[in-house]
Structure 1
Amino acid sequence: MRSTLRPVSPNRLSWRISLPFAAFVLAGSILLVALQWWNIQQDERQDFARLAQTNAEFLRRMTLPSSERMASQLGEVLGVEVYFRHRDTGLTTPAMPDPMLREALAKQLAPDGMSHEIGRFDAVAVPLDDMRDLVLAKPSPPLYATLRHPRTLALLATFWFFALAFGWVLARGLVMPLRHLARRLPDIDSPGPLNLPEASRNDEIGDVARAFLHTREALHNERDQRAQAEKLAVLGRMTAALAHEIQNPVSAIKMHAQLWPGGEVEGRITAQTIEHEAARIESLVSQWMYLSKPQPPTMRRVELVAVLTRVMQVHQPQIEHAQIHTTLDASEPLPVRGDSRRLAQVFSNLLVNAIQAMPIGGALTVKATSDGKVITVSFMDTGNGFSTDALARFSEFFFSEREGGMGIGLSVAAEIVKAHEGELRVENRAQGGANVSVLLPQLKQ
């Protein structure tokens, strides 16, 4: 699978993050310049007010005249416009050329020693005596002048540095991992392990990476299951055809064994052996038929005790040959709604499994109990029990740890029990051996 990643466009996440971030940096820079301009103005006005107060004190101490020449000389020294205002008339010496400033000085500017913004000017008035005020005025600094101020440049440089650092961290922590994940998307169907460092993160990126790996694993499992299902479908068709061909001659062999004339002991034993082995082949064929084409059970009232008794009688020669002591603990009527033939197949499979688990003999207890709602039929043997792997996979088709085993006995039993709305449980006994239990809903009387 080839990558189909598109070229960078304004719709990409990187652009949708970068553009708002750039707008944020621009707005932040403008706000910083505005705040800095206000701070610089306040500082300059305070300095301007102190300058006016200092010179007013100097004029009072030196008793210098309030003449136009004195105002001109002082203005040249200070670099600002200097006026002497007569408090009664509001007139200044020299006369102010700007009419707006002249009117404002006459009516608005109080001799409080504070700098005030009047139109395009900053002005401050300081009293010299009871009749006169010293007035200093200068043009207000424009906003663009603030940009050249060293303090503004240092503040903007610091802000831009941290903004770029934050942007780099954001890109490294969000955009770059997402791009890396996008580049790995074509590998979702590739075989073998896939290493995603982002999966170890404890944030949303880590959640996305882990979801990616989980989806990839699910796709691989689905592909394997689909391949397995295709194999099983072919095997099922072959099995159905083969079982059909085997069942007819097996039935004939079983019928002739039943018609074997009595008389000789060896002849009867031979006939029983032939009949038993034919029945075993017939049971095996029936299970293969069930695997290839499962059919719903034919439900009717069934007495489990009768089914258990009949199954144990059928397998009695095999039980005696294996030198196994069996105990059937089931006396009370235990009715269920089910298919007697399928339930007999379940109990037969569990009985054969228990016999095979005790190759050198042992004891098998079959116990059926009821709590009024659920009937439990337990097969408890004294064999080696189940391995950990077998306990987890006992219902898996074709899984068997026994040499020569096909792995269909417990699988078929579990499927049949499930079709009866029951449950098959497998566990190891504390005193050794295994306990396989069939749980079925009890039929109300």
Structure 2
Amino acid sequence: MAGFITLWNQDGEAVFISKTAEDILGYPISEMLGTNWSDWVSAADISHVKNNIDYIQTIKQTIHLNVRNASGKNIWTENQVAGIEDTNGKLYYISATKDITDKKDAEELMIRSEKMSVAGQLAAGVAHEIRNPLTSIKGFLQLLQAGVNREDEYYKIMVDEIEKMETITSELLFISKPMTDHKDKENLREMIDDVVTLLIPQARLKNIEVLYNQQSDQVVTCDRSQIKQVFINLLKNAIEAMEEPGCITVNNYPENNQVYIDILDEGPGITDEVLNEMGEPFFTTKQNGTGLGLMITRQILERHEGSLEIMRNETHGSTFRVILPNL
């Protein structure tokens, strides 16, 4: 994988570029020296670098940037960037850059193939999940046409079936909608506070207390609305899993270069069989569930270079752990 080294001064001007940059970018070194790093990248990438510049001064960062070469072609680069000082205390930034265009192209091809496979699975699942309530509604309408005198009961069942179809279609629209990449530095405590406040009324209806233990004030780079959707999905699942009054605990704490957010419930727990199936489209243990919530949650976290872990608690209940990169 081809690469080159660049040294930038505090004003962002290139003061040294290794010879191999000519092979990758196509420009002579003489033309690149003295240029500003912002001349090389897109407006979106400029914003991304500026959001991380304070952290680069103290901690080495890996940044993926789209750079246009001399032929006008965009190439993907992986940049290991760190701040260094000379003997006079003057700050510079050193960047080790690799051309990862081939790797990115291969990843995108794989993602497209996976999307086609998932689309096929979803289409089959949608047909099955919507056919069932439609069959039920058709049957009750036929009974009503035949003069069966139980209108109120049948109307309620039909409304429930229609609401289930609405839930399936709205969640499918969320999945199919292209996700934005409008990430910014966000206060994790504020996001979790918002979600807890939103769902406390639902928890109180079941005599469930929600406790949020904040061990540190973390800042994460994320799309605020998407990560809040993750917490909404998981906290709603925890509330719905608890059949008896009890407590749900939310903890967040740093771990190495990551931040953990644990949501612990006091529900009946999860069997090995269910644990292996969770996250599959349309698999659900809830009467009115669709099985798409966890799929959406994992999809969002993958877009944020995060992950979801699901564990059984030692005594009873389950823990859903969200892992996000820590700034």
TM-score normalised by the chain length of structure 2: 0.49
Look at both structures and tell me which one has the larger radius of gyration over its CA atoms.
1
TM-score normalised by the chain length of structure 1: 0.37
Report the structure, 1 or 2, having the larger strand content: 2
